[in-house]
Amino acid sequence: MDVPAAKKYMIATDVGGTCTDTVVFAAGEPIRIGKALSTPPDFATGIFDSIESAATAMGKSRDGLLAETYLFIHGSTVVDNTIFTRDGAKVGLISTEGFEDTIKVTRGAYGRWGGLTEDRIKHIVKTERAAPLVDPALVLGAPERVDAAGEVLRELDEKEVEKMLEFLVNEKGVDAIAVSLLWSFINPVNERLIKEVAARVAPNVYCTLSSDIAPLPGEYERTSTAVINAYAGKITQSYLTDLEKRLAETAYRGQIMVMQGYGGLLPANEAADRSVGMLECGPAAGVIGGKSLGQLLGQPDIIATDMGGTTFKVSVIQDGEIEYAREPMVDRFHYSAPKIEVVSIGAGGGSIVSIDPLTGEPKVGPQSAGSRPGPICYGLGGAEPTLTDVFMLIGYMNPDTFLGGTMRLDVEPARKVFEEKIAKPLGMSVNDAAIGIYRLASAQITDLIREITVERGLDPRDFVLHSFGGSCGMLSSMFGAELGVKKIVVPYTASVNCAFGLVSADIVHQYSATKTLPATASAHEVNAIYEPMVREAAEQLKREGFSEETMQMEWSVDLRYARQVHELTTPVRASIPLDDQGLAMLISDFEALYERKFGKGSAYREAGIEMKLFRLTARGLLQKPEVPKLPFQGVDAKGALIGRRNIFVEARAGMAPADIYDFDKLQPGNVLSGPAVIHTPITTIVLQEGQRGSMDEYRNVIIEFA
Amino acid sequence: MSIRISPTLSATDSGDICCNACGHSVAPHDSKTQWKDRAMLATERVRGMAGWPDAVHPQLVLRKFACPSCGSLLDSEVALPEDPYLYDVVIG
Amino acid sequence: MDPITFSIVRHRLFRVVEEAVITLKHVSGTAITNEGHDLMVSLYRADGSLLMGGVGFLHHLTSAAEACKAIIRRFEGQIEEGDVFMLNDPYTAALHTSDVYMLAPIHHEGTLVAWSACFVHVSDIGAMNPGGFAPDAGDIYSEGFSSPGLKLISRGELRRDIWDTFLNMVRSPEMVALDLRSLIACNNVAGERMLALIEKYGADTVDEVGRTLIEQSENLLRQRLLELPNGSWQSRQYVDVKGETSKILLTMTKQDDTLTFDFTGSSPQSAYSVNCTKWAALGGLFAPLFPLLCYDITWNQGAVAPIKMIAPEGSIVNCVRPAPVSVATVGAIQSVNNAACSAIGKMLAASEKYADEATAVWHANHFAVFMFGRTREGRLAIDTLTETFAGAGGAKTYGDGVDIGGEMPNPISRMANVETVEGAFPIRYLFRRRMRDSGGAGEYRGGLGGEIAIVPHGSPDGGINFVLSGKGSKFPMSDGLAGGGSGASNDYVLIKGAGEDSRRSGETDFESLRGERKPISWGVFPLAKGDAFYLRWNGGGGVGDALARSVEAVGADVVNGTISELAAKELYGVILKNGQVDMSATQDCRARLKAARMEQGAMA
């Protein structure tokens, strides 16, 4: 895509649950940041507030900025929000006759325990399935059947289809229809027939076919995906249409790109049809941001951590590759769309600290005070002690400099409540208890990170830790040290990482074909499967304005050992289309990956290897803005030193004096030693004793261990 | 004061076992038999009950124990006719 | 020890088990381990008592403790660092021969500090029927390889002679080898993580946390028991195998802070392999006990201490060698499970404070259906139908049970997608849905079970065979509570085709299945081209009087297809006209049904 001469700005806005963040890029200019509160359900207002906040920081008006902008990239929690608030369409579902209960039965207990923590799972009697997004009375069985080979055993009569649609649309008044028939991903003929008839007799009804939205095996997850897509379909369409309209009312004339949960962008008109694609797109953007930062800094192996107000999220980038979730869920619903794997626990800045009434043990989260009423020290009505209050008590936060001094924090009320509710029951002093809770939170996070790395056969000591989010900087030097990571990077854009990730992404279309081929198949057979997908992808990208040079096709294959259930997505490294050597390389890559992830001796090779799913990631490469590189100013950080105060230092097992720095005054090249605290307008970074901090040429803070 | 001994029965201070719905003393404290022996018993064959497969044992019965005063269902059990009642004794 | 360190170490001890479970599932890769979650991994103290139990198949937590103790006794003086032991003899500790325990001592600086133990249901154990359930077995000698304890790995060196001998006796030795390797890897990880924990916090600290957790669990459970009423509650389970009826009678007594499970009055052991040994019976008790009474208490030895069991020797729940036991896990152990669930449910329901925690019995009729035959690719495969893990939830005192909601002994089970099964095995489903009317009737309805029908499809041999260990069609086992009805029993029907190549693709419910119907329950059956196999499984028990169920709820049930109009009338007293509740007819009907209780009944 060419950048029109007069327009130099690229704007990326991410609508999160609490905040809407904006990042503005232009070649040769510093990155500008904007932040505003999110405004559900009319998210567009928050978007414009956020853009305005960035414009103001640049000394421009909102419309003035937009007039000079050539691209607007967007991620939003609108679909997640629709699911969580149960605010979607009235959906009708058509399943194969005899299997109408698929969506209600959720593969047995799977839907009953899915998404619950172990504590809740143990309490079996109190667990329940979430009510499905489609009313059970609106599920019909189509008299049709296709088998595993794609053979039509029972044809679908058009008259029958009309009858079903008559019932759902005219009698029951559904706004959206989901269609999910057995084996439709192998042979979609009957699903397509339903869509044709629906277009004819009910053109205003939003219709989703499972073979379009999630052409993957596993009818429960596929049906669930179709239902979610239908449920949030119209809302997504009107949200994006409304956004387009409001932008058109300004001087903005460029395109709108929308982030997807798999870490790629789609043009708005396409994203409008794939509401399920927007699930968790914020965190996905965050991971892309981490990957991009890693590329900039020459770090292919990253543990990306993001601590917000309510949750602590982790994802892993290995050899520059991101990992996709194998059993994605939103709320309590399973679905199967490509989605970047991000695991989380309820340990955010607003997480409430409590004592278990039965065992007397201290707990962090999962409930959160959010930002309203928020931590006690915010003075906005919070009455429960939170992690942020703990950070205050151990001296990490400066009550006078929070949010650039615009909000004064008061530690005394927090101290009193903490003493009564936490310290006294634990039989500890306020100080010791606060330190203890801090250590507990750090340990929980360490355990979570170990879980996500160990599960893949990875060793945290081989990784660099990226610390994103408002509160993360106060904990990462602690858990990073315990994990033994190589170093910690706290990026300049830490607090708006998701927005930063948006501008690091490409247009990405995901395609897949399900077919079982033995590893002994010829490369020719594999190429034959990819050929139609590649053709379709190339045509699609061409329509979107990309040429051969700006397109990139990436192949990856899901393989498994024939008698075992574990499937691994293995990237194709050889040149494509494949020759026999290239296919052999894929097979041996799979074996190496399998052994690393599942353990030595875990492969039953004698059963043979099968290829099960062929994935195509088709990229339209977008010009990425260059992160401005600043010249080094020397190692002396004294110019940024603003004082000293006591903070919790792990090595001293208590409070000890530390240097306090102002981030804005730090220069690239400056070096400082822990224990130390760096205050930025939005975040705080803590260094422990024996750690060495420095600012790189991009204004990222790097923490290294002695 | 009466204490709960099941969702359908309570025991008074003196040990009378009473129906929750109507207060009737199904088994006064000095009865020599259990409350089930003193309740109204209705027995029906399980095979043939709505929704049950025919493979179920032909002799299996459903015993329903009701309050002799108001007919409220106090408890039930399935059994082969030769088997005694299942007794629950709650001391409190 | 400060509460923070305690909390951190406790969580990390738990993580040791978690990581070991992940390893087990990863290395195994089998469907039964990964989908069915038919596994268990736990940590034990140096003396073999349960330190930390995970959410695998709960039956095994205590029997693996006994296995540890058995190994300690047998190998006294010869337990060294790097050893790994195998045990699968049901008369020593295992539940049945297919559930192979692998136990490894964990040494720190030369001292034995803990044990890790795990099991999976191996693909085959060399019993007279494939898959590990041997309904044809008449004694333990026909139930495959069985050992009271073997040292499989000695100081880190695999004993090839034992490995080869064991695999020599089983079908699919490659798959069984994989099962064993996954168990070994699991223990390796547990040992490594445990040692890492000890290195970081010190052996004394970790041991103190372990001891404290055990004390804490015992105190908390005893405290809870003191809050529950003293009394005794009875429950009875019937088991039918080929016309022989066995009874399991349980009298559970709570006195102050102890709970005793007395199985006196149960039938003598059966000639068929539904029996279980006393270790298995004890294990079966804890499957409902942990989630019902210890939902917020760590599952360890402390929670076992207040519990006693009396099981007469030679009875079906404490059988004597050489009685066959291969079907124990869906036989007597299940019955112990169900009886305990029922009795504990009644005890909880007798308490004002804990009534909400009471439940009617969940999916009690565990069945085992193994299919074997040649796949489309010509490979010989043994596979299990995972519908048995799909289960059905018992009702609560405040709400209905969860339809196809799972089962108690296996908290995180799930059933495979139809497409997964059809992709791996030469069969096709005609239908799979919730079974109307299967939930126990009550003010709160028991969760529905399900029904399926399968036909052979694309099998190179023309058909497949299946092994059915499906007791439970003669007798329901999901008892109701407080007047609630039992979940309807199972049914297994073989429908013989006329040999023609009928695809039956329009036969999407039971009524439409054409052909001669043969009820079956136990044994090996061929499913030839044109045949169909129908299976319906039990619902959960109901709670309370069906006549007290809200009329609106019954009306909605009929509309949703969970209760038939006939059942609505006969069991719930609700009359519908044109799909709408007829209030006055319903009032009459309910009054009549209630009065009938008084008329028919004679004072017992």
Which segments of chain A belong to CATH 3.40.1360? 88-231
Contact across the interface for A109 and C359, Cβ inside 8 Å: no
Contacts of C548 in chain B (CB under 8 A): 73
pLDDT of A4 strictly over 70? no
* CA–CA separation, C520 and C208 (whole Å): 55
* Residue C591 phi, psi (nearest 5): -65, -40
DSSP 8-state class, residue A154: E
Whether CATH 3.30.2310 fits A88-231: no
- The confidence score (pLDDT) of residue A469 equals 85
pLDDT of C501 strictly over 70? no
* Residue A577 phi, psi (nearest 5): -60, 160
- For residues A686 and C500, the model is more confident at A686
- The confidence score (pLDDT) of residue A271 equals 95
* DSSP codes of every residue in A615-661: EEEEEEPPPPPPPP------SB-GGGEEEEEEEEEGGGTEEEEEEEE
Within 106-165 of C, beta carbons closer than 8 Å to A belong to none
* CA–CA separation, C48 and C70 (whole Å): 9
Does B51 reside within a domain?
A: yes
Within 33-92 of B, beta carbons closer than 8 Å to C belong to 36-43, 46, 49-57, 60, 62, 64, 66, 68, 71-80, 83, 85-92
- Count of domains in chain B? 1
CA-wise closest residue to A474 among A363, A362, A395, A364: A395
Average pLDDT over residues C450-479: 88
Contact across the interface for A565 and C509, Cβ inside 8 Å: no
- For residues A374 and C224, the model is more confident at C224
* CA–CA separation, A418 and A431 (whole Å): 10
The fraction of chain A above a pLDDT of 90, given in percent, is 77
pTM for this predicted structure: 0.93
* CA–CA separation, C140 and C135 (whole Å): 12
The fraction of chain A above a pLDDT of 70, given in percent, is 99
- The confidence score (pLDDT) of residue A461 equals 95
Contact across the interface for C26 and A598, Cβ inside 8 Å: yes
Contact across the interface for A110 and C415, Cβ inside 8 Å: yes
Nearest-by-Cβ selection for C483 from B3, B38, B76: B76
* Contacts (Cβ under 8 Å, ≥6 apart) of A476: A305, A465, A467, A488, A490, A703
What are the structure tokens assigned to C232, written together?
């005794």
Rounded to a whole number of angstroms, the distance between the first and last alpha carbons of chain B is 13
Contacts of A112 in chain C (CB under 8 A): 393, 402, 405-406
Contact across the interface for B41 and C351, Cβ inside 8 Å: no
Does B90 reside within a domain?
A: no
pLDDT band at A485 (very low <50, low <70, confident <90, very high): very high
Task: Let me know: does A66 contact A51? Beta carbons within 8 Å.
Answer: yes
- The confidence score (pLDDT) of residue C442 equals 98
3-state secondary structure of A496: helix
Convert the pLDDT of each residue in C16-72 to its tens digit. Answer: 998 899 889 888 877 778 777 888 999 999 999 889 887 777 888 888 899 999 999
| A562 vs C: CB within 8 A | yes
Nearest-by-Cβ selection for B50 from C238, C437, C543: C437
A29 CA to chain C: closest CA distance, Å?
47
Contact across the interface for B73 and C232, Cβ inside 8 Å: no
Spatial strand order in the sheet of C380-384: C380-384, C368-374, C464-469, C522-527
Q: At what angle do helices C3-28 and A580-598 cross, to 10 degrees?
A: 140
- The confidence score (pLDDT) of residue C174 equals 85
Average pLDDT over residues A324-349: 92
- The confidence score (pLDDT) of residue A460 equals 94
* CA–CA separation, A326 and A334 (whole Å): 10
Does B66 reside within a domain?
A: yes
* CA–CA separation, A132 and A223 (whole Å): 11
What is the torsion angle, in degrees rounded to the nearest 10, for the CA atoms of residue A288, residue A293, residue A296 and residue A298?
-100
pLDDT of A204 strictly over 70? yes
Question: What is the fold of A507-620?
Answer: Dna Ligase; domain 1 (3.30.1490)
For C508, the closest chain A residue by CA position comes to: A98
Does B41 reside within a domain?
A: yes
What are the structure tokens assigned to C35, written together?
């989908």
Q: What is the CATH number of domain A9-82+238-278?
A: 3.30.420.40
What are the structure tokens assigned to A475, written together?
């904990």
* CA–CA separation, C510 and C463 (whole Å): 21
> Which residue has tokens 């139930």?
C143
Contact across the interface for C355 and B7, Cβ inside 8 Å: yes
- The confidence score (pLDDT) of residue C604 equals 43
Contacts of C267 in chain B (CB under 8 A): none
The fraction of chain B above a pLDDT of 70, given in percent, is 100
* CA–CA separation, C357 and C398 (whole Å): 10
- The confidence score (pLDDT) of residue A2 equals 52
Convert the pLDDT of each residue in C294-323 to its tens digit. Answer: 999 989 999 999 999 999 999 999 999 999
Within 60-99 of C, beta carbons closer than 8 Å to A belong to none
| C209 vs A: CB within 8 A | no
CA-wise closest residue to C303 among C409, C217, C211, C208: C217
Contacts of C451 in chain B (CB under 8 A): none
- The confidence score (pLDDT) of residue C499 equals 61
Task: Let me know: does A181 contact A191? Beta carbons within 8 Å.
Answer: yes
**Partners of residue C40 on adjacent β-strands:** C119
Mutate to test the interface with C, among A96, A104, A112 (most CBs of C within 10 A): A112
> What residues make up the domain containing B65?
2-79
* Contacts (Cβ under 8 Å, ≥6 apart) of C321: C91, C140
* DSSP codes of every residue in C19-55: HHHHHHHHHH--HHHHTS--EEEEEEETTS-EEEE-S
Chains touching C (at least 3 CB pairs under 8 A) are A, B
pLDDT of A391 strictly over 60? yes
- For residues A308 and A702, the model is more confident at A702
pLDDT of C601 strictly over 80? no
pLDDT band at C361 (very low <50, low <70, confident <90, very high): very high
DSSP 8-state class, residue A423: I
Does B84 reside within a domain?
A: no
* Residue A29 phi, psi (nearest 5): -115, 155
Mutate to test the interface with B, among C255, C267, C468, C598 (most CBs of B within 10 A): C598
Contacts of C235 in chain B (CB under 8 A): 86
C182 CA to chain A: closest CA distance, Å?
7
Which segments of chain A belong to CATH 3.30.1490? 507-620
Pairing between β-strand B61-66 and β-strand B73-79 as defined by DSSP bridges:
antiparallel
| C509 vs A: CB within 8 A | yes
* CA–CA separation, A37 and A27 (whole Å): 28
Contact across the interface for C571 and B41, Cβ inside 8 Å: no
Does B86 reside within a domain?
A: no
pLDDT band at A297 (very low <50, low <70, confident <90, very high): very high
Pairing between β-strand A206-209 and β-strand A176-180 as defined by DSSP bridges:
parallel
Contacts of C596 in chain B (CB under 8 A): 42
CA A552 to the chain's CA centroid: 23
pLDDT band at A552 (very low <50, low <70, confident <90, very high): very high
Contacts of A143 in chain C (CB under 8 A): 506
- The confidence score (pLDDT) of residue C602 equals 52
Nearest-by-Cβ selection for A566 from C7, C29, C175: C29
For B35, the closest chain C residue by CA position comes to: C604
What are the structure tokens assigned to C185, written together?
């890897």
Mutate to test the interface with C, among A102, A105, A125, A437 (most CBs of C within 10 A): A125
pLDDT of C405 strictly over 60? yes
CA-wise closest residue to C468 among C135, C128, C139: C135
- The confidence score (pLDDT) of residue C364 equals 78
Nearest-by-Cβ selection for C423 from A98, A99, A217: A217
Contacts of A223 in chain C (CB under 8 A): none
* CA–CA separation, A23 and A289 (whole Å): 12
H or E element that contains A32: strand A32-37
Nearest-by-Cβ selection for C419 from A105, A153, A219: A219
- The confidence score (pLDDT) of residue C489 equals 93
Convert the pLDDT of each residue in B17-44 to its tens digit. Answer: 999 999 999 999 998 999 999 999 999 9
* Residue C369 phi, psi (nearest 5): -120, 115
